[in-house]
Structure 1
Amino acid sequence: MRDENPDENPDVHPRGSTPPGLILDRTSRTPLHQQLADQLQHAIVHGQLVPGSLLTSEPRMAEEIGLSRITVRHAIKSLTQQGLLVRLRGIGTLVAQGRAAHTMDVVAAVHEDLREAGRAPAAEVLHHGTEPASPEVAAALAIAEGSEVTVLDRLQYADGVCIGRLRNHLPRELLGPDLFSPHDGRLGSVGLHGLMRAAGIFAYSARCTIGARAATAEEGELLDVAEGTALLTLTRTTLDQSGRPVEYGSHCYPPTRRGFDIQLLTGLDAPVPPDRPSGAARA
C-alpha cells in the first residue's frame, strides 16, 4: 500500500521551492518545528511563496536546512491545518490559493513593509522603559490594570522622512526594555517584530482598527505638521499562535506619508482563528 504522504510518493513532481534565508536557532526555547512553521508562514504571507507554488518535498527540505524529516513534517502539518498549505496526492504540498483570513498582514510590521517596498526604514527612539498598564493597554493585553508593561515610543522613518509616531506596549515578562536601546542598532536593523522573533515571540495574527483624528501640539512638533492636522491612526493587538496578546500598538501617521492597502478576501475555506483569552477587548 502506498503511503498517503505525498512527499513519499515516487510520482510527485521532483521540483519545488524552499524560501531563502531560513534561519533556525537551536539554542532557542522555541521548538525547531515551530521556528520552521513560523518562517514558512512569514514567507507565504509576504509573498516569497506565492499561492499555487509547489513547496520543496519534505525529505529535500530536511536535507537543505539540516533538520529531521519528522521535524519538517510536523511544521508542514501545522501549516496545512491552518489552511496555508494544501497536500495533493501525486503532486506534493502547495501554497493555498488565497491567504487565510487570520494570518499576519504587513500592516502589523511597518519596518518590514517598508523594506519590502524597497524603502530604507529607520527609527528614532523617543522613550523606552516600563510603566503601569493603563485601562486601555490592560484590556488589549488581557492583563490586570497597573501591571508592569514594556513601552516603546518612537518615530518611524522611510528614506530619511518621518512617516509616523509608533507607540507599542508589551507584557513585561515577554520582552524587556533592554532590547530597545537606541544605541546598539538592533531596532533600526530588524524592527520591533524582528526583535520579538529573536526573543522567541512570533506574531500569528493581529486585530487592527484604522481611524483618524487631529494632531496634538506634541504630535505636530514631532511629525512636522500643524497642530490640528488630520492624522491616520492605527491601533493593533498582536497575538501569538496560542491566541495570547503579545503586543499592543497605537500609531499615528500624516496621510500624505503613510497609507494602508486593505484586501478583502472572499470564498476562503479558512479555519477559525484561536479564541482570544477571556477579558481581552477588541482593538
Structure 2
Amino acid sequence: MTGFGKASVQLPLKKITVEIKSLNSKNLDLNVRLPQPYREKELEIRNQIAQQLERGKVECSVYIEVTGEETSSTINAPIVKAYIAQMKSIIPDADATELMKMAVRMPDALKVERCELDEQEWKEIEKVLHQAIKNINEFRQQEGEKLGNDFAQRIENIRTAMHEVASYEEERITNVKERLQQNLKELEVAVDESRYAQEIIYYIEKLDINEEKVRLTNHLDYFVETMNAKEHAGRKLGFIAQEMGREINTMGSKSNHAEMQKLVVKMKDELEKIKEQVLNIL
C-alpha cells in the first residue's frame, strides 16, 4: 500500500496542489491537512479517499499558492497608528520608516479576514483530488505487480525446499533406528523384539511429516490462487501466511535431522519476507 499521488490546477488567482502519500498499515489511518477555507470539506475528502484507498497510513495535503493580486490580510490602520504614536512619545527623533517597520510587527497590526469557500473553486479542487487518488492507485498497481512476482518466486522457493525435505526422510528414519539400537546395546539388556518393533513404529509415526506437507502444499496453492484473484485479499493472504507458518514450524519440530532443519529455516526466512510485504496488499 505504499504509494504517492500528486495533482494540481492553476486558477486565475491561485495554484492548488493535492498530494496523497500512503505507507503500510493493517487498517486505514487517514490524516488530512487543509487550509482554513476548506476545513468544512474535510469529512467529504475523507470519505472519498476511504472509498478508494481502503487501507494504509494515508496523508492527504492540500496546498495553496497565491499567484494573483489577492490577499486575506490587511493592515489594521488604527492599531498601527497607535503603536507609532506610542513609540514617538518614547523616541521623538526616530525615523518614521523605522517606526513603521516596527509597528507592523507588533501584535494585531495585521488583521486576517476569513475567506468563504467558493463552490466553483471547490469543484476544481475535487477534480484535482480525484486525479491525485487516481495517480496513487496507479502507483499502487505498479507496486502490486512487482510484489506479485516476488510472492510467486518466494512461494516456489518454499515449495522447492519442502520437496527437498522429503529426500532426507528415509535417511532420518534409518538414523533414528541406528541410534536406538546403539543405545540398547550400551545398556546390555535383553530386548523383546516384538515390543521393540512396536516402539520403533510408534516413534517413527510421531516424526512423520506427510500430513504437514500435504497441508502446506494446499496453503501454497491457495495463496497463489488468492493472490491472482481480482478481489482485495490482503488480509486473507495474511491469514494464509499464518497457516503456512504453523505447518513449517511443526515440520521443524519433527525434523530431528540437521539438513532438514536447514531447509525449515530457509522456508521460514522466505515466509517472513512474504509476511512483511503482505501488509502492502489491499
TM over 0.5: no
Considering fraction of residues, name the structure with more strand: 1
Question: Could you tell me the TM-score, scaled by structure 1's length?
Answer: 0.19
Structure number with greater CO (CA < 8 Å, separation at least 6) is 2
Considering fraction of residues, name the structure with more helix: 2
Question: Could you tell me the TM-score, scaled by structure 2's length?
Answer: 0.19
